[in-house]
Amino acid sequence: SRRGRRSRYPLPESRSKPEMAGILAADRGAMMMKIYHASGIALAGLVPTAMAIPGGLLPLDLALGVALPVHSHIALNFVVSDYVPTKAAPAARAGLLGLTCLTLAGLFTLNTKGEGITRTAKRLWKAPEKEKA
């Protein structure tokens, strides 16, 4: 358990700005853990629902478009804490934050201007249509 244990990895230099420290060190703090667990529970319901209903629903796709990147961002911060050397951790966390922001933007665009996450995922398991001669 991570509670009560002091990490051997220091917080990023943004320690004077708690909001940035929370975003960059997303694997630390009670609020981030609540968000992580809530997003995991949400995904446990959203993913099967999205696969079970025909087509796709915009509200469901938008919820997936937020829950997936947020959950992944916090989980990958655990990986950074455990495996990235201390001196490289701030850069790794900043890069991860950038990728998370790009993922959020990409999924939002897919959901609002494309076919949505659900239909895109279902298309991966659909057999390709045979060309008519």
pLDDT tens for 90-107 read 999 999 999 999 999 999
pLDDT tens for 28-76 read 888 889 999 999 999 999 999 999 998 889 999 999 999 999 999 999 9
DSSP state, residue 87: T
Q: Where are the alpha helices (DSSP H) in the chain?
A: 18-24, 30-52, 58-83, 89-113, 117-125
Report the pLDDT value the prediction gives residue 29, as an integer from 0 to 100.
Answer: 82
Is 15 strand, coil or helix?
helix
